[in-house]
Amino acid sequence: MSNLKKRFLIKTLGCKVNQYESSALGEALEGRGFEVVPGEGEAEVVVVNTCTVTHRSERDARQMIRRVRREHPGAYVVATGCYAQISGDKALEAGADLVAGTAWKAKLADLVAKEQRGVLVTDDFSPLLAPEIVTGLRGRTRGFLKVQDGCEAFCNYCIIPHARGPSRSLPPEEVRAGLARMLEAGHREVVLTGIHIGRWGRDLPNPLGFTDLLSIAEESGLPRVRISSLEPLETTEEVVDMVAASKVLCPHLHIPLQSGSDEILKGMGRPYGVSQFRDRVEYALARIPGLCLGFDIITGFPGERPMHFEETLALLHSLDFAYLHVFPYSRRKGTPAANMPAQVPDAVKRERAAVLRKLSADRNMAFHEARIGKTIPALAEGRVTDGALRLRARDYTEVYVNWEVDGAPVDEVPVTPTHIEGHKLWAKL
C-alpha cells in the first residue's frame, strides 16, 4: 500500500462483541502505520464490520457497504463480521473489495495492509481464541474485554453458530493480561463479553468453569467488572453467590429468556423450561441486593399463538426485572425454524413487540424511581454535554448530574438521584 493510503474508518454494526473487535482492529491498523479518520472524514480504507442476526441486520450491512462505496468512491472497502461469513458473495456484490469472514478477523489487519481482494470465508476456526488487544477506548472509564467467541447451542432460530463457529475461550493468562492492560489504560469498569460467555473455559486444554473466570476478575485490581449476558442454566447458585458476596462484580445480570411458554421454548430448542428459569431468577433476586435484572425476549416465533404470548406476559409480570431487550422473530435461512409451519404474520409480531416494549419502559421507569433519594456510587461515562454528565451505577442505573467544570471524574463518585425529567434520572453529587 502506498504511503498516501493511510487513513481508515471502521463502521460497526451489531453487538458489543463486534464493537470490541472493531476497536482491536483499529489499534492493529494504527500499529501498522494507518491513521484513523476523525468523524466522517475522507478515508482510503473503510472496514464495515457486519451483523447477520436478523434480516434487518443483513439489509443494514448491504446498505452500509453501498453507502461507503458511494461516499468513498476511491477507497479500498472491506466487509467482515457475521454477514460476511454467511453471505460473502452478496457482500462482494454490494461493493466490497475484500470480504473476510469471522475466522479471518485475527489476520485482518495484515490482509488490509496487503490490499487483499476477493472472498475469504472458512469454517476452519482456530481451536483457541487469540487475544485481541484493546488498550484504547481511550479516555473512557468503561471498557470491554472479549473472553469467548463462538456458540454450539444451535437454537432453532439462530444463525450465529454458523457465523461464529464453535465455542473458543481466551486462556486465563490472556484474560489476566487483558484486564491488567485495561486497568493500566485507565478503565475503572470492564465488561466481560462473548457470544456464549457462560461456556468460557470448557474448551481449554485444562478445562475451567465460569466461576474461575469470575475469580480472575475479582483478583484483577479493577474496581468494577460486569458480566455481559449469561444463559439461564449457567446462572447457577455458585455464580449468583459470588456476585452477591463481591465488591467487584456488579449486581447486574442480563439473561436470555426468549419465551415464557414451555411449548415455545421447546420449539426454539432452548434447554430449560419456565419453572427452571423462574427458580434461577428468584434465587438471584433473593441473594443479590438491589439486583438489576434484564431479559432477552423473542416474540412471534413460529407457532406462537395468543395463549403462548399471554403465558410470556404472565411470567414477566410475576418477576422483578428492570428492562427487556425485545426482538421480533426473524426468519433465518439455514435454521430449523425457517421451515416450521405456522409462521406468525409480521403485523402480529409488531403488535406483540410493542406490548413488550411498553412493559419494559414501565418497569425501567419503576426501577429508576426506586433509586430516588438513595446515595449510590457511580462512574462517569462519556463527555460533558450541555453542562450535564452521564454516570453509571454498579446496578446499571444511568444518572445525569449538572457538571460545570472541565473534564469528568475518573473514579466513582457518590450521587443521590432526585427526580426524573425527560426520561432521564437526574441526581446531585
Confidence at 215, pLDDT banded by 50, 70, 90: very high
Confidence at 3, pLDDT banded by 50, 70, 90: very low
Contact 87, 59 (CB under 8 A): no
Calculate the average pLDDT of the chain.
94
User: Percent of the chain at pLDDT above 70?
Assistant: 97
Contact 88, 101 (CB under 8 A): yes
Top-confidence range, 35-49, 114-128, 240-254:
240-254
The residues, ordered by sequence, that sit 6+ positions from 45 with a Cβ below 8 Å of its Cβ are: 5, 7, 8, 9, 29, 34, 75, 76, 78, 112
SS3 content of the chain, % helix, strand, coil (to 5): 35, 25, 40
The residue among 66, 68, 58 whose CA lies nearest residue 9 is 68
Element (H, E) at 105: none
Q: Is the pLDDT of residue 320 over 70?
A: yes
Q: What is the pTM of this model?
A: 0.92
Residue keyed to cell 443483513: 58
Longest dimension (CA), the chain: 64
Look at residue 136 in the predicted model and tell me its pLDDT. 58
How many other C-beta atoms lie within 10 A of the C-beta of residue 140?
18
* CA 417 to chain centroid: 27
pLDDT per position as a tens digit, 41-70? 789 999 999 999 999 999 999 999 999 999
CATH class belonging to 142-369: alpha beta
Q: Hey, where are the domains in the chain?
A: 7-120, 142-369, 376-428
Confidence at 139, pLDDT banded by 50, 70, 90: low
Integer Cα distance of 120 and 219 in angstroms:
40
Confidence at 5, pLDDT banded by 50, 70, 90: low
Helical ranges in 87-152 per DSSP H: 88-93, 108-113
Report the CATH superfamily, name and number, of domain 7-120: Response regulator (3.40.50.2300)
Average pLDDT over residues 24-36: 93
Helical ranges in 269-376 per DSSP H: 274-287, 306-317, 346-369
Phi first, then psi, for residue 112 (nearest 5°) are: -65, -45
Phi first, then psi, for residue 63 (nearest 5°) are: -65, -40
Integer Cα distance of 51 and 91 in angstroms:
12
